[in-house]
Amino acid sequence: MPDLNINNIQEVVLRANFEDAAGNPVAIDGNPQWLSEDPLIGSITPDATDPFKAVFSTTGTLGTTRVVVSGDARIGPDEVIVTGAFEIEVTASEAVVVNFEVLEIRPRSS
């Protein structure tokens, strides 16, 4: 089951909060790295002023993708990468127009 459902004309702002095993906020070494696993469904753009925030923007395509964020949990020269994933399902937006399809042109019945 996805973590979030949005429609195909929406975007969502996400924040990555890194925590220890007890749920306390912790720092990471450097900035987190963001990724959309299926860029055909949506793209992820880190915030220019706060790299712990990012915007997931839909492309219009329907489906499910995961936003993955990772960071170096060990401050200093050693590296311990911690990764989290957030699943987003993109569904169709509401109807805004009615299009007609001509099925047949035929002689009048009477």
For residue 29, being part of any structural domain is answered with: yes
Of 62, 69, 66, 101, nearest to 84 (Cα)? 69
* pLDDT tens per residue across span 22-67: 999 999 999 999 999 999 999 999 999 999 999 999 999 999 999 9
* pLDDT tens per residue across span 73-92: 999 999 999 999 999 999 99
Hey, which bits of 2-80 come out as E strands? 4-7, 11-15, 29-36, 42-46, 53-58, 63-72
For residue 56, being part of any structural domain is answered with: yes
For residue 28, being part of any structural domain is answered with: yes
Give the CATH number, domain containing residue 35: 2.60.40.1080
For residue 96, being part of any structural domain is answered with: no
For residue 108, being part of any structural domain is answered with: no
Q: Which domain holds residue 62?
A: 4-91
For residue 84, being part of any structural domain is answered with: yes
For residue 103, being part of any structural domain is answered with: no
